[in-house]
Structure 1
Amino acid sequence: MEKDTLRKIGTISRALDSIANIEFKQIKLTRGQYLYLVRIYENPGMISDRIAEILSMDRTTVARSIQKLERQELVVKKSDPNNKKIRHLFVTEKGKELAQVIEKENSFSNQMALRGLDQSERKQLNKLLSKVEQNVDQNWHFVKNGGKREY
């Protein structure tokens, strides 16, 4: 049963990711770029390291995706007034429009995926998935920082 839980989460994730990639192709966003765009939209001025942390992604992958968003004029970097090495990220007007479309898709997908669950079940599912996310995040940090898991 436990083996099936992560498989189900993976299947759900891959299916929703595939749907988003197909739908966002028409707005010229490549695989996963929508994740970065929306996080920057939700958190104006954040830095790329923080995005990597939020999404449990490596910094290099995040940096490459942000560069693509910059080339598409969806995101701009602005230097920190106190430390010129720090670059804050902001969405452009064009990026804002796309982020709003992405948020609509996300809301639709949430409603579709949770159809048939009452409020209590939705709260319970969210609470349980938050615990799973926290466990995985702790393990991800451990391994990312050189830890070796014993299995």
Structure 2
Amino acid sequence: MNISKLKSRVLREVGTVARCIQSISDIKYREINLQRGQFIFLTRICEHPGINLIELSHVLKVDKTTTTKAIQKLTEEDYVTRTRDQADKRMWHLYPTEKALAMYPCIIAEENRNIDVCFQGFSAEEQEIAYNLLLRMGENIEQDWRALKAARPE
């Protein structure tokens, strides 16, 4: 059996970092009733009050079904309110509640702690290089993601 070799392990390492952060965050946020990955939805809503489901899905690169489920749970836990768009009654705008705004600094503090841990021993220049390289990778893969989404509408 001929086993193919990876051209690079970079994406596997990115995945490992992402899963570790996800796992740490899930444990830390469980006590405030934020379930798996909901904090990413909550932070974006706090940062972009009035964002709609479609925009939020695009920002986070997830499908509308995933966004809808997360928003339902965040609404049930009183972290998010939905307001119907006046012009397009099918569209809902999402707003953080006072409870969400109170939790936002804690979530950002945890995100900053993860950043500090990940970048231990890195110079400011190395951090900037890592950011710029990942940004370029994200831009490249987003083109592929958009093409796939266009070919397979939800």
Normalised to the residue count of structure 1, the TM-score between the two structures is 0.92
Q: 1:94-148: per-residue Cα shift (whole Å, max 9, x none)?
A: 111122211110011111111111111111111100001111111111122227x
Number of aligned residue pairs: give it: 147
- The answer on 1:142 being equivalent to 2:151 is no
Aligned to 1:92: 97
Alignment of 1:1-151 (within 5 A): 2-146=7-151
The runs of 4+ residues in structure 1 deviating greater than 4 Å are none
Distance 1:146 1:106 in 2: 34
Seq. identity, % = 31
Distance 1:63 1:81 in 2: 20
Q: Which amino acid aligns with 1:24?
A: Y
Preserved CA contact (<8 Å) 1:66 1:75: yes
Q: 1:33-75: per-residue Cα shift (whole Å, max 9, x none)?
A: 1010000000000001111001110001101110110111110
The alignment partner of 2:9 has SS state of: helix
Unaligned segments of structure 1, at least 5 residues: none
Normalised to the residue count of structure 2, the TM-score between the two structures is 0.90
RMSD: 1.4
